Amino acid sequence: MIRLLTLPAGFILDLLMGDPRWLYHPVCLIGNLISILEKGIRKVFPKTDKGERAGGILEVVLVCFITFFIPYVVIHLFYKWNFWLGFALETFWCGQLLATKSLKVESMKVYDRLKNGTIEEARYAVSMIVGRDTQALSEIGVTKAAVETVAENSSDGIIAPMLYMAIGGIPLMFLYKGINTMDSMLGYKNDKYLYFGRCAARLDDVANYIPARISGWLMALSTVFVGMDTKNAVKIYRRDRRNHASPNSAQTEAAMAGALDVQLAGNAYYFGKLYEKPTIGDPIRPVEIEDIPRANKLLYATCIVGAILFFGLSVLLKTVL
């Protein structure tokens, strides 16, 4: 039962430490693994639609096996040598695989440049955390991009990993990060990855389906603790949570838009091409720079409630099973 404390302890560690630049991150190792496997697989499989699809499936199988099996073996050995050594490693890895503080830090860099710098500096800061083109974004466009990133990443960067940690410990948490990293690296609908990355993208949709919906409801309900518009958050979440090409991305964006009483999303440029996207939320008031710290305030409330909920879930599962 003491081992279950690794989840809340890891969450607290994340809040305190974040992701120091001097500390090599496990996701970087996963990213290197994905790149190495991709290069090798592409050399073996034929460059046809069917061949690339098969190669992509093999990539997914290998990455999933490695990202689950290696942490499973390592953590098992550490606990076998010394319980507290295993506890320390599991807590440390949990803290590393959560992104609460780093998400706040990176988004607040955008806020700082909007307040104290130039629009060019703000565009550069937001380009570090979003995938869209930022060169022509206005002050409002930069602000919206930062707020949307905080909302979307609250699910796949924090709530989803915590859920999988509660269910299956560090190995399942690592497996989820492997799936999520594959999607971010391979899940593009361009000539290079249309077939090779299809399996990775679909698996990420499946892995995030339940966590994204839990995240949306947690965010809407957490408005109670930070004095935001709970009624509108629930309303917009229920109405606009499907206003995205991805089945999961609009879940938390809808809750965030409703909580802030603003309108998010809409058309955006990616790699020089305009993508027409529906809006999320109602423009009850205009978006303003202060919405970035407000979004982070709601982020922290959501993650704290989530950590408490998932710790309770892990205790329940341990008791029942």
Please give the pLDDT value at position 246: 83
Instruction: Give yes or no for residue 21 having a pLDDT over 80.
Output: no
Residue span of the structural domain in which 176 resides: 2-320
Query: What is the residue-averaged pLDDT of the chain?
Result: 92
Residue of higher predicted confidence among 172 and 46: 172
What percent of the chain stands above pLDDT 70?
A: 100
pLDDT number for residue 20: 80
The reported pLDDT for the residue numbered 110 is: 95
Question: Using one digit for the tens of pLDDT, what is the confidence trace for 150-204?
Answer: 999 999 999 999 999 999 999 999 999 999 999 989 988 888 888 999 999 999 9
Confidence band of 113 (pLDDT split at 50, 70, 90): very high
Strands 273-275 and 268-270: antiparallel
At 247 the pLDDT is 86
Q: pLDDT digit string (tens) for 255-278? A: 999 999 999 988 777 767 777 788
Radius of gyration of the chain (CA): 20
Q: What mean pLDDT is predicted for residues 111-118?
A: 94
Residue 269: its H or E element: strand 268-270
Alpha helices in the chain (DSSP H): 6-17, 26-44, 49-81, 83-97, 100-116, 119-127, 139-154, 160-186, 198-226, 230-240, 250-260, 291-320
The stretch 24-53 carries a mean pLDDT of 92
Instruction: Output the pTM of the full model.
Output: 0.92
pLDDT of residue 263: 93
**Integer Cα distance of 299 and 302 in angstroms:** 5
Asked if residue 291 has pLDDT above 90, the reply is yes
Query: 140: buried, middle or exposed (CB in 10 Å: 19+, 13-18, 0-12)?
Result: middle
Checking if the pLDDT of 48 tops 80, the result is yes
Give the DSSP letter of residue 232. H
Per-residue model confidence (pLDDT) at position 275: 74
Ranking 11-25, 68-82, 151-165, 201-215 by mean pLDDT, the lowest is: 11-25
Q: Residue 219: what pLDDT?
A: 96
CB 255 within 8 A of CB 151: yes
Which pLDDT score is estimated for 273?
76
In this prediction, residue 167 carries a pLDDT of 94
Q: CA 313, 204, 24: angle at the middle one, nearest 5?
A: 80
The pLDDT of residue 187 is 85
Residue 321 has pLDDT above 80, yes or no: no
10 Å CB burial of residue 161 (0-12, 13-18, 19+) is: buried
Q: What is the domain count for the chain?
A: 1
Distances (CA, A) of 206 to 2, 42, 203, 246, 273: 31, 25, 5, 11, 28
Residue pLDDT, tens place only, 223-263: 999 999 999 999 999 999 998 878 898 899 999 999 999 99
